[in-house]
Structure 1
Amino acid sequence: MAGHSHWAQIKRKKAAQDAKRGRLFTKIVREIMVAARLGGGDPEGNPRLRAAIAAAKAVNMPKENIERAIRKGLGLEEGTQYEEAVFEGYGPGGVAVYIESLTDNRRRTVAELRHIFSKCGGNLAEPGAVSWIFEKRGLIVIPRDGLSEDQVLEVALEAGAEDVRSYEGEFEIITAPEDFEEVKRQLEEAGLRPASAQVTLVPKTTVRLEDEKTAQQMLRLMEMLEDHDDVQKVYANFDIPEELMERLSGG
C-alpha cells in the first residue's frame, strides 16, 4: 500500500495546516464532547476521552478549551449535542470508503456527503456495504530517520507487534488493538518516537488505481470528505502507485 502510505504522509502535513486554521480544533472538540457524554469526564476511566485529549494536546489546544468541551459534553455548560453516525460508500474505481462522523443534523450530513460522492465519481451505499473490508488495528508510524528495518523489526516484534511495513520515509507498525498501548510503550522506551499512533481501521484488501484521472478523483474525494465539518475520520482501501501519487500530490 505504498500509495496509500504516501497519502497518510500528506494527511499529517495537512493536519498541521488545519490545526493552524482551527478546523482540526473543531473536530477534536466535538470528539471530546461526545466521549465525555458517553463515558464520563474522567480520562483515566474513559479511554476514548483520554485519546481525544491526547489528540488535542498534540495540536497544542489550550487546556481551557479541553476542559470547556468536557463540561459541555457532561451537560454542565450549554452546547450543541452531536450524535455519532457512520456512512459507507464507493469511490472512483470501486474503492471502499468508510466514514465516521459527529453531526447535529443527520439529514443534512447525508445530503452533503451524497453530493460530495457524486461530484467525485462515487456514491453513498447502504449500511454494511463496505464495513466488512476494514478491521480494527493499532497503527504506529515511526520516521525512518536513519533507522534500519532490522532495528525496528526487532523491537516491534519483541514488543508484540503483528507486522512492520517499510516505506521510503517511515515504518508502519501494525498491532492488535489490545496490544497497542504496550507496543507503543516499548517502542518509546527503545527510543523509537512515533510520528503518529492510533487504533484505526485497516483494509483487509485494496483496490489499485493506476489510471491518473481515477486516482485524481479519489484523492479529491478524500480531501473533500476530510474537509467536511461533520466528518471525523475517513477510511478507504485505495492503493495508488508511488510514482503516480508523487505526481498527483506535487511531490
Structure 2
Amino acid sequence: MGRAFEYRKAAKMKRWAGMAKAFTKVGREINIAIKEGGPDPDYNPRLRLAMNNAKAVNMPKANIEAAIKRATDKDTSNYDEVTFEGYGPHGIAVFVEATTDNNNRTVASIRHAFSKYGGNLGTNGSVDYMFERKGQFIVKSEDLEGKDLEELELELIDAGLDSIVQEDDEVSFYTSFEDFAGFGPAMEKLEITVSKAELVRIPTHTKKLSDSEVEEVLALVEKLEEDDDVSSVFHTMDESE
C-alpha cells in the first residue's frame, strides 16, 4: 500500500510539473505575440494561436487573461526567441528553440546539458540545414467528423497546405513556414477547430540507432526539455519502431 501511494504521488507530481512547464511555455508565447503585434487577438493572429495553444493545455481562462495583462505591462520582462544547434551522442543533430529573458543563463544551461550527456554545442547554422521548418496545425479527428479530407485538401491548397497526416485520433495539417501565419484564419473560415498550432522542424534525413544508443540521445533531449527556457527540441534520430 505504501509503494502504491508513493507511485501515485510521484505520478501526480510529474503531471503537475508537466502542466507547469506547458503553462510557462504558452505564457511566453503570449508575451512574445503581444510584444510583436499588440494585445488584441482580432488583429494579432499569432496571439490568437498562442491563446488557442493555452486552451489546448487546459490553462484556465483567468491564467490566460493574467498572462495577457502581464505582457502589456511595460515593466514586464521581454522574452527573446533564441536557438541552439549541436550534436548529441552518436552523431545525432539536435536543434533547440528557447524563449528567455536572460540569454547568459540559457546559454550556460544548454551548454551544460550538451556537455553532461555526451553532446557538443555547435554554432548557428551547424545543423539547421538538416531540418525543414514547417507549420503544424493539429486537429482532433472527432472535430473533423462529416468532413472529407480530400475536399479539405483542395480547399486549403491556396492557403498554403503542404500535406495532411492522419495519426490515431489526430490529424496534422502542414504548411510552409511562410504560410504559417495565414493558415490559421483559413482554418477558421472553414470552421475547423485547431487544438494546437506551432512551427516545427522536420529532419530531412534520420539515423537509426540501437536501443541503448536511443536511450543516450533521449537522456539529452529530456534534460534539455526540462529547462524552463526551452520551448522545443528537434533531432535527427529515427524514432520509428
For the structure 1 residues 109 and 176, does the alpha-carbon distance in structure 2 shift closer, same or farther, using more than 3 Å as the test? closer
Q: Which residue of 2 aligns with 1:51?
A: 49
Q: Which residue of 1 aligns with 2:184?
A: 181
Runs of 5+ in structure 1 lacking a partner?
1-15, 243-251
Describe the SS at the equivalent of 2:42.
helix
Describe the SS at the equivalent of 1:234.
strand
Aligned pair 1:224/2:227, yes or no? no
* TM-score of the two chains, using structure 2 as the length reference: 0.75
Give the Å deviation of 1:126. Answer: 0.2
Runs of 5+ in structure 2 lacking a partner?
1-13
Instruction: Name the count of aligned residue pairs.
Output: 220
Q: Which residue of 2 aligns with 1:12?
A: none
Describe the SS at the equivalent of 2:173.
strand
Kindly indicate whether the alpha-carbon contact (under 8 Å) linking 2:98 and 2:232 is maintained by their aligned counterparts in 1: yes
* TM-score of the two chains, using structure 1 as the length reference: 0.72
Kindly indicate whether the alpha-carbon contact (under 8 Å) linking 1:175 and 1:183 is maintained by their aligned counterparts in 2: no
Describe the SS at the equivalent of 1:44.
coil
CA offsets per residue over residues 12-46 of structure 1, 9 Å max, x none?
xxxx9357642211222122122212322122222
Q: Which amino acid aligns with 2:21?
A: R
Give the Å deviation of 1:231. Answer: 0.7
For the structure 1 residues 18 and 186, does the alpha-carbon distance in structure 2 shift closer, same or farther, using more than 3 Å as the test? farther
Kindly indicate whether the alpha-carbon contact (under 8 Å) linking 2:19 and 2:57 is maintained by their aligned counterparts in 1: no
Aligned pair 1:124/2:121, yes or no? yes
Q: C-alpha separation between the residues in 1 aligned to 2:233 and 2:149?
A: 28
CA offsets per residue over residues 146-166 of structure 1, 9 Å max, x none?
x9xxx6445335532322345
Give the Å deviation of 1:144. Answer: 6.3
Q: Which residue of 2 aligns with 1:133?
A: 130
Q: Which residue of 1 aligns with 2:153?
A: 156
Q: C-alpha separation between the residues in 1 aligned to 2:85 and 2:118?
A: 15
The CA RMSD over aligned residues, in Å, is 3.2
Kindly indicate whether the alpha-carbon contact (under 8 Å) linking 1:134 and 1:204 is maintained by their aligned counterparts in 2: yes
For the structure 1 residues 113 and 20, does the alpha-carbon distance in structure 2 shift closer, same or farther, using more than 3 Å as the test? closer
Describe the SS at the equivalent of 1:241.
coil
For the structure 1 residues 218 and 188, does the alpha-carbon distance in structure 2 shift closer, same or farther, using more than 3 Å as the test? farther
Give the Å deviation of 1:113. Answer: 0.8
Kindly indicate whether the alpha-carbon contact (under 8 Å) linking 1:208 and 1:238 is maintained by their aligned counterparts in 2: yes
Q: C-alpha separation between the residues in 1 aligned to 2:233 and 2:39?
A: 26
Kindly indicate whether the alpha-carbon contact (under 8 Å) linking 2:209 and 2:237 is maintained by their aligned counterparts in 1: no
Kindly indicate whether the alpha-carbon contact (under 8 Å) linking 2:45 and 2:184 is maintained by their aligned counterparts in 1: no
Q: Which residue of 1 aligns with 2:204?
A: 205
Give the Å deviation of 1:91. Answer: 1.9
Q: Which amino acid aligns with 2:78?
A: Q
Q: C-alpha separation between the residues in 1 aligned to 2:205 and 2:16?
A: 28
Kindly indicate whether the alpha-carbon contact (under 8 Å) linking 1:144 and 1:170 is maintained by their aligned counterparts in 2: yes
Describe the SS at the equivalent of 1:41.
coil
Describe the SS at the equivalent of 2:209.
coil
Q: Which amino acid aligns with 2:175?
A: T
For the structure 1 residues 231 and 186, does the alpha-carbon distance in structure 2 shift closer, same or farther, using more than 3 Å as the test? same
For the structure 1 residues 214 and 116, does the alpha-carbon distance in structure 2 shift closer, same or farther, using more than 3 Å as the test? same
Describe the SS at the equivalent of 1:45.
coil
Describe the SS at the equivalent of 1:127.
coil
Identity over aligned residues, as a percent? 39
For the structure 1 residues 162 and 229, does the alpha-carbon distance in structure 2 shift closer, same or farther, using more than 3 Å as the test? same
